[in-house]
Amino acid sequence: MNSVPPVAGQPRHDTDEVTAEFDICQPFQLDSSSFRGRLIRLGPALDEILTRHAYPEELAPLLADTILLAATLASSLKYDGIFTLQTKGDGPVAYTVADVTSVGDLRGYARVDLERLAEQRGHRGFKPDLGSLLGSGYVAFTVDQGEHTERYQGIVELRGATLAEAVRHYFRQSEQLAASIKSFVGKDADGRWVGGAIMLQALPPEDAGIFTEHQAGVREEDWNRAGLLLDTVTADELLSPTLGANELIYRLFHEEQPRIHPRTALRPGCRCSRERVGDVLRSLDRAELDDMRIDGVVAVTCEFCNATYDFTDQDLDRLHAAF
């Protein structure tokens, strides 16, 4: 999962200083080649989402990667709605899912069979990689812009040791664009989850028309050079609380004439509410609700944020009376 241990010797930082360079999407462009990029850094938002559940130590990095890559891929799209990245397999981890709204709200969740995971741990040479946790399955990318628009979905087979490798496999299979991603997740010196990713995209200029053979060759050389520069980024750099996002971009790509665009903020944001849960309960027969009742209350817990909504008999009477 490209998970890394805490960086030794890093000083503690107050919350304001850490937040200033985390939970951001920093777009940029390499003017020498017209490639565009995104640098994503997640800190408090990622930590809040992950710590809402007591995930096993093997699973948390995978879910962190899912959330980080969802934010990274969503940042490269123009949409008004929800972008979802989901993995699904036949291993101990049934699925991981993360979604990002077009205004930057993040959430994520994973489902795991703890008994099967414990059995896997007992196998000699067990490594918590993509294959061991998810088994055989797929990665799905979905863009949902509402009921009056067509939903887009792309699916690719789970392949590679990390989710980032599976995503790169998707781009290799796609004829729409060339893209390269480098990502890391881990914990900082205070034990809080952090993640960082850089994504480059090779999109043809709008006025390029059809490339000549020479132009295509030059562009391929530019892309290869940019990819080599991207590969030099380290986990320490991407996850550093003291290295600014723009400083890192210039450090990596200063010869490519980087141009920085306005950044946007990312934050944890679940879309559950008492009203939405009530709408679901209203659609069920009263007999079904009676079967769900414990100590006179129907309790519904959101899988994402772990918030619990309690409904008494009086609440349920009002719901059905309003139907």
- Interatomic CA distance for residues 137 and 152, integer angstroms: 20
Q: Residue written as tokens 């890394």? A: 4
Q: Do domains 17-205+213-268 and 274-321 have the same CATH topology?
A: no
Torsion on CA atoms 162, 264, 155, 4, rounded to nearest 10:
10
Of 142, 47, 42, 49, the C-alpha closest to 87 is 142
Question: Per-domain residue ranges for the chain?
Answer: 17-205+213-268, 274-321
User: 256 in helix, strand or coil?
Assistant: helix
Would you write out the chain's pLDDT as a tens digit for each of its 323 residues? Answer: 555 444 333 333 333 444 458 999 999 999 988 899 999 999 999 999 999 999 999 999 999 999 999 999 999 888 899 999 999 999 999 999 999 999 999 999 999 999 999 998 888 878 888 989 999 999 999 999 877 777 888 898 998 888 988 888 888 776 556 789 999 999 999 999 999 999 999 876 554 444 444 345 567 889 999 999 999 999 999 999 999 999 999 999 999 999 999 999 999 999 999 999 999 998 888 888 888 989 889 999 999 999 999 999 899 888 877 65
Give the per-residue pLDDT at 286: 81
Alpha helices in 97-212, H assignment, sequence order? 114-121, 130-134, 163-173
Instruction: Report, in angstroms and rounded to the nearest whole number, the Rg of the chain calculated over CA atoms.
Output: 22
- The CATH number of 274-321 is 3.90.1280.10
Supply 267's token pair.
């934050």
| DSSP secondary structure of 49-110 | HHHTS---TTTHHHHHHHHHHHHHHHTTS--SSEEEEEEEESSSEEEEEEEEETT-EEEEEE
pLDDT for position 63: 97
- Domain 17-205+213-268 is in which class? alpha beta
Strand partners, 178: 202
User: According to the model, what pLDDT value does residue 247 have?
Assistant: 96
